[in-house]
Structure 1
Amino acid sequence: MDTMRVDATTIPSATAAAHARETTRAFLKALRQPAVDSETADTAVLVVSELVTNALRHGGGTYTLRLTAHPDLIEVAVDDPSPQAPRLRTPDLNGGTGGFGWPMVNHLARATSVTSHAAGGKTISALLAR
């Protein structure tokens, strides 16, 4: 099992999502048996981008990203300091105010979970097929 942790509390928010995407691509590229195909990598990068963006936008502006490669799954976990769980919204088709991300993550992942922490904050996890 391969694991990578990125504590992104010091990354400026303007570049944080891009940094998370680059980190994810590098992590997945470094995996060996079995290697990750480009479609799986693109899916993982998209999920990471969405979860990190939500943490920055709605979760207090900081996050910690953990990527774990299991034999048949990639686990993406994002911690942020907000106790608020993501909520399903009706996507805004005209105004550009969002609402697409959480349904998309749930569609792409085999499973998602939200774990609240007693000391505050939460972890959002998504399991992706490898």
Structure 2
Amino acid sequence: MHDTKITPASTSSSPTVVRGHSTESVRQAREAARAFTDSLIPLPDPATADTLVLVVSELATNALRHGGGRYTIELSATADVVTVAVSDPNPVRPRERTPDLNGGSGGFGWHMVRRLTTGLTITPGPGSGKTIRARIPRLGS
């Protein structure tokens, strides 16, 4: 049973929305991110597409682990930037922690997201949760 709902983009100005609440949904979110970049005209730089997939994966995983166990992702694009907005029900902002190099308990995701994106913002809502919005330049750096 699939628990992810995907609304595909039909043009470069239409957003793609992905909802999920399981580890399987993260894979589906990555696939939706790849399909989203493949639907854009003109196609973004390949590095941009790869970066978007990685950022979507990290933010969806963090939402599952730390954000209340479910998320909504909205992908959108302009001529200059691709944006991913991830909403979850937990109002607590992400925090950096020292990555665990030996025990495998993580700590790398938020560092990567901050490094790979521009215009990273965190806003309240929807409801009592938060939305993390990350911008990726459409042309690779």
TM-score normalised over the length of structure 1: 0.91
**CA-CA distance at 1:14 after TM superposition:** 3.0
For residues 64-111 of structure 1, give each alpha carbon's deviation from its aligned partner in whole angstroms, at most 9, with x where no partner exists.
110010111000000000011100101111111111111110100012
2:63 is aligned to 55
Count residues in correspondence: 127
Match of 1:24 among 4, 22, 33: 33
TM-score by length of structure 2 reads 0.84
Contact 2:87 2:126 in 1 (8 A): no
1:6 pairs, out of 9, 13, 17, with: 17
Can you list the C-alpha shifts for 1:37-74, whole angstroms capped at 9, x where unaligned? 22110000000000000011111111111001011100
Maintained 8 Å contact 2:29/2:56? yes
Looking at structure 2, the residues matched to 112 and 128 of structure 1 have their Cα atoms a distance apart, in angstroms, of 9
Match of 2:50 among 42, 60, 63: 42
Equivalent residue runs for 1:58-97 within 5 Å: 58-97=66-105
Runs of 4+ in 1 over 3 A off after TM superposition: none
Equivalent AA in structure 2 for residue 3 of structure 1: S
Given candidates 15, 21, 35, the residue that maps to 2:24 is 15
Report SS of the residue matched to 1:98: coil
Aligned-residue identity in percent: 52
